[in-house]
Every structure is written in C-alpha cells, then in structure tokens.
C-alpha cells in the first residue's frame, strides 16, 4: 500500500469553488479501483492550504487513476483555482 499527499494552495476567494469540485469528485475517487481511502485536510493557520491524503493498493493503481478521465477532468477544474503550484509526495509506512 502507498499513500499520496498532495498540497493544494488556493486563492482564498476560490476555496468554495474547489469545495464544489471536491464534493462532486470525492465519491468517484473513493470508489476508483485501487483506492482504499481519500480525505481532505486543511491547514489550521492558513485556511487556503488544503491537502488530500489518499491510500492506494500500489503505485500502479495510483497511476491508473492519474491517467483516467476522472482525474483529468477533476484536475482541470481544480488547477485553475490555485494560488501556487501543487506539491505531491508518494509515501509508505515504515
């Protein structure tokens, strides 16, 4: 199993727009083959910085999602709301 952490820094006035995208996409992502879990976290000090934390069966499952139409359409709607470029890490438990 792998975990994926993605840091998303939004323009503060566009967080509500992102929440619409997230609420629409989250159930589809969670039911994507190989996805075990996905949640949204918010930085307590800077409310416009959000993180997605997802768990995947393996890197192949994550790549299948990242190459899917679901990812492409969700990402297209999301990235236009950014204040900074997204950062992402794939990690494992030790």
Q: In terms of DSSP bridges, do strands 49-56 and 87-91 run parallel, antiparallel, or are they unpaired?
A: unpaired
pLDDT in tens, 34-80: 999 999 999 999 999 999 999 999 999 999 999 999 999 999 999 99
Domains of the chain: 2-91 (3.30.70.100)
2-9 sheet: strands from edge to edge? 35-42, 49-56, 2-9, 87-91
Q: Burial of 64 by CB count in 10 Å (0-12 exposed, 13-18 middle, 19+ buried)?
A: middle
Mapping DSSP to helix (H, G, I), strand (E, B) and coil, where does residue 10 land? Answer: strand
Question: What pTM does this model have?
Answer: 0.94
């Amino acid at each position: 199993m792998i975990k994926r952490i993605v840091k998303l820094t939004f323009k503060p006035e566009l967080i509500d727009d992102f929440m619409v995208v997230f609420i629409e996409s989250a159930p589809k992502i969670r039911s994507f083959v190989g996805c075990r879990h996905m949640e949204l976290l918010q930085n307590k000090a800077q409310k416009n910085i959000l993180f997605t934390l997802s768990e995947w069966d393996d890197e192949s499952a994550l790549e299948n999602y990242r190459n899917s139409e679901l990812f492409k359409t969700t990402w297209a709607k999301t990235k236009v709301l950014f204040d900074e470029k997204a950062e992402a890490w794939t990690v494992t438990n030790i």
